[in-house]
Amino acid sequence: MKIAVMSDIHGNLEALDAVLEDIGSQRIEKIVCIGDLIGYGPNPEEVIQKIRQIDVCCTMGNHELGILFKLERKWFNPKARKSLSLTEKLLSPESLDFIAGLPNTHTLNNNLFVHGFPPASVKTYLFEKDTDEIARWFLTPGPKLTFVGHTHDLELVAWDGRKADRHPLHQDRLVLDKSKYIINVGSVGQPRDGDNRAKYVIWDPVEESIEVRFVPYDIQTTVDKIMERGFPEYNATRLW
């Protein structure tokens, strides 16, 4: 069974469509999204509708949290707060109900999916944790694999039983031969790693491997819609 793991779509319908087309060619049996379906991008409603139509398993992201609880928006920078306010106006009551029902975590094959940092943080970034703090997570009884998002950067943290080694992930297939891992799956809708293609990961629990996929999409269409709908210009220019 192959499982596609994605995160941080951020209302970018063109990126999501491109990723779903790529997934369709990979014999994927299940899709998991680790939060932030919305925020920054111009099509939050359409993204949520599509995710629901194809029965993607989703967890809560910090942008969903910001939609649900206005007090959480003080945690965001001014551009992100403006984006959330615009996003809220574009969402249907059904989509708001869907967001309210999202769990903070998901488990699959005894492995963990969480937007921020394990065991259940929606807001904590992986880059905020040093190797000692990460080691403490690895030393707790828990999953071999923890999948996260939130930073928009692909990263692999491997634990060999003694120390945690951190490495950027590239477009490649990797065998997971260490005892435990944290895998940051990057971003579908707003990559921040210097490569503007949409990113996601294919996890093969049988072969104990992951494959990192880079998918080109129609960035200009997304950029045009961001500007037309009054989102901050920065949301558009950073996609390039």
Give the C-alpha separation, 231 to 38, whole Å.
Answer: 13
Fold of the domain built from segment(s) 3-237:
Purple Acid Phosphatase; chain A, domain 2 (3.60.21)
pLDDT value at residue 23: 98
Residue pair 153/166 in contact by the 8 Å Cβ criterion: no
Contacts of 26 (CB under 8 A, 6+ apart): 2, 4, 202, 213
Alpha-carbon torsion angle 215, 225, 148, 185, nearest 10? 10
pLDDT at 183 over 90: yes
pLDDT at 145 over 90: yes
Name the band, by pLDDT with cuts 50, 70 and 90, for residue 178. Answer: confident
The full length of the chain comes to 240
Note the pTM of the prediction, 2 decimals.
0.96
Name the band, by pLDDT with cuts 50, 70 and 90, for residue 83. Answer: very high
Give the sheet arrangement for strand 3-6, strand by strand.
57-58, 30-33, 3-6, 198-204, 209-215, 173-175
CA distances to 68, 103, 171, 183 from 201, rounded to whole Å, are: 28, 21, 9, 9
pLDDT value at residue 65: 97
pLDDT digits (tens, 9 = 90+) for 17-60: 999 999 999 999 999 999 999 999 999 999 999 999 999 999 99
pLDDT digits (tens, 9 = 90+) for 87-130: 999 999 999 999 999 999 999 999 999 999 999 999 999 999 99
pLDDT at 1 over 90: no
pLDDT digits (tens, 9 = 90+) for 185-234: 999 999 999 999 999 999 999 999 999 999 999 999 999 999 999 999 99
| DSSP bridge pairs for 5 | 32, 201
Give the C-alpha separation, 187 to 151, whole Å.
Answer: 8
pLDDT value at residue 191: 95
Name the band, by pLDDT with cuts 50, 70 and 90, for residue 75. Answer: confident
